Amino acid sequence: MYDLIIIGAGPAGITASVYGARKGINTLVITKDIGGQAALSGDIENYTGYQFITGPELATKFQEHMRKYDIALKENEEVQEVEKIGDVIKIKTNKGLYESRTAIIASGKRSRELNVPGEKEFKNRGLTYCATCDGPLFRDKEVAVIGGGNSALDAAIQLMRIAKKVYLINIASELGGDVIMRQKVMESKVVTVVNNAQTMAILGNKFVNGIKIKRENKEEILAVEGVFVEIGLIPNSEFARGIEKNQFQEIKVNSYNETNVPAIFAAGDVTDVPEKQIIIAAGEGAKAALGAFGYLVRHRF
């Protein structure tokens, strides 16, 4: 029986685990991987204390901090169900069953898929969802980034230093995202922004060799060897079936990070807290851990 189980080890989950450990409560972290979306980010210039750091570097710093404490960790496990029975929270994974007095859901989000012909066939054969992970494989090649928000801009900025040509395929009439990031993309001679363009199919033989788009009711094919899908994220909240969510399937929390189920808290990108930023997720993780500790004290466990 744990005092606290944390689901996820991104910025929110790791910060929550550190706060839990410092409060002296018996804590377990269950996660598929460590770092979350932070590990998939490129250059980070807005995390306080670091004027510049890469996403993988920051994720490593988080992990090093967590490992300084006596925190139980179960990696490569996927949570399938969270259920509260009486005063006990039961968490079922693909590998076992765990029990706790409190829980924090910090499971983050995952990449949204295009759902177009060729996407599944060419996944990991030229089509990817992570420029940080796979960008170096496309040095001096022509590639396409699909999307128009911060994730797409971040990918384009990373790739314009590696690829020979980057097409930024945006379904909207103009780019969104951070102003500074937009400026970097627009000023690059490597990047061509294609607005009002809908992705119709991913083309290839054994590997990607093109992308079919549609704009102004005309279809055209761009010859590319890589496609990076950056069209948003989906909350990893399917397992939280008894917990209230909004229309986007984000877990609803109050200012204390409480869900509608007593003793179950949530933090980070999986919640309905506005603005999905690393520093916000970390702060929310700290709040959730303090909330869990307060719950344990009030209920005299």
Task: Give me the residue spans of the domains in the chain.
Answer: 2-110+233-298, 113-229
Q: Which residues contact 249 (CB under 8 A, 6 or more apart)?
A: 234, 235, 237, 238
Confidence at residue 282, expressed as pLDDT on a 0 to 100 scale:
96
pLDDT for residue 301 is more than 80: no
pLDDT of residue 279: 94
Q: Is 206 exposed, middle or buried (0-12, 13-18, 19+ CB in 10 A)?
A: exposed
The pair of three-digit structure tokens given for residue 75, joined into one six-digit string: 């990696």
134, 140, 178, 269: the catalytic one is 134
Q: Give the model confidence (pLDDT) of 195-233 as tens digits.
A: 999 999 999 999 999 999 999 999 999 999 999 999 989
70 is catalytic: no
What superfamily in CATH does domain 113-229 come from? FAD/NAD(P)-binding domain (3.50.50.60)
Contact indicator for 152, 159 with CB cutoff of 8 Å? no
- Determine whether 154 is an active site residue: no
Tell me the pLDDT band of 130, cut-offs 50, 70 and 90.
confident
Distances (CA, A) of 89 to 6, 83, 104, 156, 213: 12, 6, 11, 43, 48
The pLDDT tens digits for 227-257 are 999 998 999 999 999 999 999 999 999 999 9
Which pLDDT score, from 0 to 100, does residue 225 have? Answer: 97
Q: Who's near 282: CB < 8 A, 6+ residues apart? A: 11, 12, 14, 15
Q: Which residue type, as a one-letter code, is found at position 154? A: D
Per-residue pLDDT at 300 exceeds 90: no
Q: What is the 3-state secondary structure (H, E, C) of 216-250?
A: CCEEEEECCCEEEECCCEEECCCCCCCCCECCCCC
Q: What is the pLDDT of residues 19-54, one digit of tens each?
A: 999 999 999 999 999 998 888 888 888 899 998 999
Catalytic residue among 43, 130, 178, 272: 130
130 assigned to active site: yes
Q: What is the CA radius of gyration of the chain?
A: 21
Within this chain, domains 2-110+233-298 and 113-229 share the same CATH topology: yes
Q: Does domain 2-110+233-298 have CATH number 3.50.50.60?
A: yes
Q: How many residues does the chain have?
A: 301
Q: Which of 3, 43, 70, 133 is catalytic?
A: 133
Q: What is the pLDDT of residue 188?
A: 96
